[in-house]
Structure 1
Amino acid sequence: MNENAGRNIRTVDDVLSLLDGLFAPEADRWTAGAASWWDGFYADRSKPVPFFVAKPDENLVSYLDRGLITPGRALDLGCGPGRNALRLASLGFEVDAVDLSPAAIAWAEDRAREAGAGVRFHCGDAFTLTASELSGPYDLIYDSGCFHHLPPHRRISYLGLLDRVLAPGGHLALTCFAAGEIGSELPDADFYRQSGLQGGLAYTPESLRWIFSDLAEVELRRMRDEPPESPLFGEPFLWTALFRSPRCTA
Structure 2
Amino acid sequence: MDRNIRTVDDVLKLLDGLFAPEADRWTVEAGTWWDGFYTDRSKPVPFFVAKPDESLVSYLGRSLITPGRALDLGCGPGRNALHLASRGFQVDAVDLSPTAVDWAEERAREAGADIRFHRGDAFALTATELGGPYDLIYDSGCFHHLPPHRRISYLALLDRALAPGGHLALTCFASGEMGSELSDTDFYHQSGLHGGLAYTPESLRWIFSELTEVELRRMHDEPAESPYFGEPFLWTALFRRDAQDLAGGSRTES
TM-score of the two chains, using structure 1 as the length reference: 0.97
CA distance in 2, matches of 1:238, 1:124: 25
Residue number in structure 1 paired with 2:250? none
Residue number in structure 1 paired with 2:73? 77
Match of 2:102 among 94, 101, 106: 106
Secondary structure of the residue aligned to 2:107 is: helix
Deviation at 1:112, TM superposition (A): 0.1
Match of 2:44 among 48, 51, 68: 48
Residue number in structure 2 paired with 1:231? 227
> 1:208-240 deviations in whole A, cap 9, x for unaligned?
000000000000000000000000000000000
- 1:48 maps to a residue whose letter is P
Secondary structure of the residue aligned to 1:85 is: helix
Residue number in structure 2 paired with 1:200? 196
Secondary structure of the residue aligned to 2:175 is: coil
Match of 1:242 among 225, 232, 238: 238
Deviation at 1:130, TM superposition (A): 1.2
Residue number in structure 2 paired with 1:31? 27
Deviation at 1:91, TM superposition (A): 0.6
CA distance in 1, matches of 2:243, 2:128: 24
- 1:94 maps to a residue whose letter is Q
CA distance in 1, matches of 2:126, 2:200: 32
Structure 2 counterparts to residues 120-131 of structure 1, below 5 A: 120-131=116-127
Residue number in structure 1 paired with 2:136? 140
Match of 1:169 among 165, 172, 177: 165
Residue number in structure 2 paired with 1:63? 59
> 1:20-72 deviations in whole A, cap 9, x for unaligned?
00000111000000000000000001110000000000000000000000000
Task: Give unmatched runs, 5+ long, in structure 1.
Answer: none
CA distance in 1, matches of 2:189, 2:165: 39
Secondary structure of the residue aligned to 1:132 is: helix
Deviation at 1:247, TM superposition (A): 1.8
Q: C-alpha root-mean-square deviation of aligned residues, in Å?
A: 0.9
Residue number in structure 2 paired with 1:6? 2
CA distance in 2, matches of 1:122, 1:87: 17
TM-score of the two chains, using structure 2 as the length reference: 0.96
Percent of matched pairs sharing the same residue: 83
- 1:168 maps to a residue whose letter is P
Structure 2 counterparts to residues 86-101 of structure 1, below 5 A: 86-101=82-97
CA distance in 2, matches of 1:12, 1:187: 22
- 1:52 maps to a residue whose letter is F
Residue number in structure 2 paired with 1:221? 217
